[in-house]
Amino acid sequence: MDGRGLQEQENEAAPAEGNRRARGDPAAAVTLEELRKRMADFARERDWEQFHSPRNLLLAMVGEVGELSEIFQWRGEVPKGLPGWEAREMEHLGEELADVLLYLVRLSDMCGVDLGRAALRKIELNAVKYPVGKRHNTSSKKFARCSGDDVGTAGGDKTVVANEDDA
């Protein structure tokens, strides 16, 4: 790394990458900033900005997540790489993933959140929360029994679900 931040490097590379894409180079990377600008232009050209409140965008994105979920709904566990999926199924999956991404990018723009910076910050926070060398390679939960007079219990035992790292 040359001492500049990732965002600075990405911003400098964006025009060159855009030109590569314009020439049909499929290896050209797409930046979040390019998607943000294209979505803003798309909405402005159609006079849709009036409908793009954070709430409306969030609800539209949730709908798209539902459509994405339907693709996997009755398949059980699906191995990495989706072996055996037909080309049309993969294309449909890509379309639904793109819908979710585009709504997320537009929502972050309407909320004034730099999605790239927020994502990088979240990775840094997770690195502190889940340091290398500490065991995190399981999805199992431990169940503990405890008693108390918490709201929703009748003074008896309640079940507490705890992450095994917290136990």
Q: Report the distance separating Cα 162 and Cα 142, nearest Å.
A: 6
Task: Write down the pTM of the prediction.
Answer: 0.68
Least confidently predicted of 27-31, 65-69, 79-83, 87-91: 27-31
The type of residue at 104 is: L
Note the pLDDT tens digit of each residue in 133-160: 887 666 655 544 444 444 444 444 444 4
Closest CA to 5 of 124, 120, 125: 120
Note the pLDDT tens digit of each residue in 111-124: 999 999 999 999 99
